[in-house]
Amino acid sequence: MPRNILYVEDNQDAIAFFSRVVNKLGDYNFVTREDGTSAISLLEEKKDFTPEMILLDINLPGMNGFEILQYVRSKTAYKHVPVIMFTSSDDNGDVQKSYEYGANAYLIKPDSLQSLKEVLQDTFNFWLKHNVA
C-alpha cells in the first residue's frame, strides 16, 4: 500500500524534481498543493486522502509554511503527523520558528538531484517508520 504524502510547494520546477526523485524511491502516493488555502481544504475534506507525512515549503503565496504548520498542529487528527519543513532558506530564524511551531524536521533543499534523492530517502525512511511505530 503506497504511503500518502502531502507536499505544499508553489514552484513547478521543485515539484518536477521532487516527483522524479520520489517516484524512483518506491511506492509513495504524493499529492501537491500550491498554496495554504487549497492544502487546508484538502485536509478538511478528510475523505479520499489522509497524509502520513507533510512537507511544507515556507515561502508560499498567501499563507506561508509556518501558518499551515500551526493549522496542522491545531487539528487533533493531524497533531501527530510528521511535518517536514522543506525549503531553500538556511536562515536560523526560520529553523527556530519551525521547531517552535511543532515541525519534526527542517530540511534544506539540496541543489543536486543526487543529494535530493539521498535526503528524501533518509527522511522518508525515518519519519514514516516513526509514524507507524
Beta carbons within 8 Å of 80's beta carbon, 6+ residues apart: 131
DSSP type of residue 46: -
Q: How many CA atoms lie within 13 A of 41 on its CB side?
A: 5
Pick one of 27, 76, 111, 129: the residue that binds other proteins (CB under 8 A): 111
**Residue from the set 45, 91, 118, 122 that interacts with other proteins by CB under 8 A:** 91
Report the alpha-carbon distance of residue 96 to residue 105 in Å, rounded: 11
- Sign for the CA dihedral angle at 49, 55, 60, 63 comes to positive
Question: Which one, 41 or 88, has the nearer CB to other proteins?
Answer: 88
What does the alpha-carbon distance between residue 18 and residue 117 come to, in Å, rounded to a whole number? 9
* 119 grid coordinates: 535526503
Does position 64 bind other proteins by CB under 8 A?
no
> Contacting other proteins (CB under 8 A), which of 114, 129, 132, 133?
114
Nearest distance in Å: CB 72, other proteins: 24
Measured from the CB atom, the residue of 3 and 34 that comes closer to other proteins is: 34
- Residues in the interface with other proteins (CB under 8 A) total 16
Q: Is 24 in the site for other proteins (CB under 8 A)?
A: no
- 25 touching other proteins, by CB under 8 A: no
Q: Which residues bind other proteins (CB under 8 A)?
A: 11, 13-14, 17, 20, 88-92, 109, 111-114, 116
